[in-house]
Structure 1
Amino acid sequence: MTPHTHTLAPLAPRRPAGVQPVPGQPELVLPARGPVRAGQDLITAQQARTVTEQQARHELIQHLGMPMAPDELMDEFADRLAEETGMLYGFVNVLLADQRFVGLHNPPPDSGHLILGRTMSLEHGWCPAVVRRKKALPLYDVYASPRFSGNYVVDAVGTRSYVGTPVIHPETGIVLCTACVTDPEPRTRSDARRILGAVKEAGRDILHTFSDTTR
């Protein structure tokens, strides 16, 4: 008996109007239900939504003139984040196909602490969770949060505290980037609230910098 096979009819790609693909990302076919085919691979609907959001973020960042590579002004924001919060590391993080630290504050090279690079996988850290939830995430001690403690950076970088906030474009609701700080030492709850206030203020200033049409 000949096995019965099904041939899937091709579907037209469906993505938000005007959104251009992120370089290096496949064009997606988004059916109403079930898995999504990207090239020859099947990906989940959640993965499809993630890539579509990345495409929309990429287009909006280009429109606003925000950097997608290391930037002097964004480094100044990262320096400010670290200085005002007393945390060891500061970041302005754009999440596309990977995490790009367009703004980065490292400790001094002779401090004995790890010097971080400019990119990281979307599988690591807590900024991807901040983008998904579109809410700030203050982790005064990552070990106190079982949901977030099993993370690569806890062991690889030695991170014990993280405070991050999304920078959201108000007209579209798209998360442009995150502003965040990390440290190898845990913080108290009250200190985490103070740090979160400073991080949110920096996030507002980042948004204002790139949404001010008079600049």
Structure 2
Amino acid sequence: MTSPLDPIPLPPRLRAEDRQVAADRADIREGRLAHFGLTSASRPDLDEAAAALGRAAGAAYAMVNRIGYQQTFIGLYRADRPDLPLVGRTMHLDEGYCPALLTRTKDLALHDVYVAARFRSNPVVDQIGIRAYAGARITDPTDGLVLGTVCFVDTDARHEADEDAMASLVKEYRDALIPLLLSPSPR
């Protein structure tokens, strides 16, 4: 029997080149995440930060995501709506939109995931009903290696004109969290 916090099983759909990058650099990212003390454990302070972002965005879900061998939502928010499925704190690297940021040089805002074929076929569209996404990369300041994301997703599409505001909002929250996230952990 599964717990309500277990992740929804979704089939792999990440592009082959993204999947290879995710796998090739997972060991390196895990080492860097450990250096910064970003373990797989959830953190109440990051849950609060995700909740603040989710409320500011009017979104169904918001996350602070570490990306190593898998995605782990060390900060997680789900709006208090009975129509929203419960989600777990982990997702495979083939699921969701954040792993796409591992190979991008820019953050990503999608006012409607149906507009781009690459993103509309993602399993979270059908399983959770995601229609809009905005994510900002958390990068190692020494070399720009993507270690995770700050993001929100919604079950309603937004207007195309909202993409800049969506991107600005997640970047603002990401930037506020960087000192908390990327201070080397004491040994």
**CA root-mean-square deviation:** 2.2
Equivalents in 2 of 1:153, 1:211: separation in Å? 29
The Cα shift of 1:88 comes to 1.2
Contact map agreement 2:137 2:150 (CA 8 A) in 1 = yes
Q: 1:57 aligns with which of 17, 21, 29?
A: 29
User: CA 1:57 to 1:120, structure 2 compared with 1: closer, same or farther past 3 Å?
Assistant: same
Q: How many residues align?
A: 170
The 10-residue stretch of structure 1 (151-160 or 65-74) with the greater mean CA deviation from structure 2? 65-74
Contact map agreement 2:132 2:155 (CA 8 A) in 1 = yes
Partner in structure 1 of residue 44 of structure 2:
72
Equivalents in 2 of 1:176, 1:211: separation in Å? 10
Residue 85 of structure 2 corresponds to residue 114 of structure 1: yes
User: CA 1:88 to 1:189, structure 2 compared with 1: closer, same or farther past 3 Å?
Assistant: same
Secondary structure of the residue that 1:74 maps to in structure 2? helix
- Aligned AA for 1:146? A
Q: 2:163 aligns with which of 188, 192, 199?
A: 192
The Cα shift of 1:46 comes to 7.6
Secondary structure of the residue that 1:182 maps to in structure 2? strand
Residue 59 of structure 2 corresponds to residue 90 of structure 1: no
The Cα shift of 1:180 comes to 0.6
Q: TM-score, normalised by structure 1?
A: 0.72
- Aligned AA for 2:136? T
- The 5 A counterparts of 1:62-211 are 62-108=34-80, 111-211=82-182
Secondary structure of the residue that 2:100 maps to in structure 1? helix
Contact map agreement 1:167 1:176 (CA 8 A) in 2 = yes
Q: Which has the higher contact order (CA 8 A, sep 6+)?
A: 2
Contact map agreement 1:169 1:207 (CA 8 A) in 2 = no
Secondary structure of the residue that 2:103 maps to in structure 1? helix
Contact map agreement 1:107 1:115 (CA 8 A) in 2 = no
Secondary structure of the residue that 1:104 maps to in structure 2? strand
Equivalents in 1 of 2:117, 2:21: separation in Å? 26
Which stretches in structure 2 are left out of the alignment for 5+ residues? Answer: 1-15
Equivalents in 2 of 1:212, 1:158: separation in Å? 35
- Aligned AA for 1:65? G
Q: Deviations over 1:113-143 (max 9, x none)?
A: 1111111111111111012214211110011
Contact map agreement 1:93 1:99 (CA 8 A) in 2 = yes
Larger Rg, first or second structure (1 or 2):
1
Equivalents in 2 of 1:211, 1:102: separation in Å? 14
Secondary structure of the residue that 1:172 maps to in structure 2? coil
Equivalents in 2 of 1:158, 1:164: separation in Å? 17
Which stretches in structure 1 are left out of the alignment for 5+ residues? Answer: 1-43
Equivalents in 2 of 1:45, 1:183: separation in Å? 27
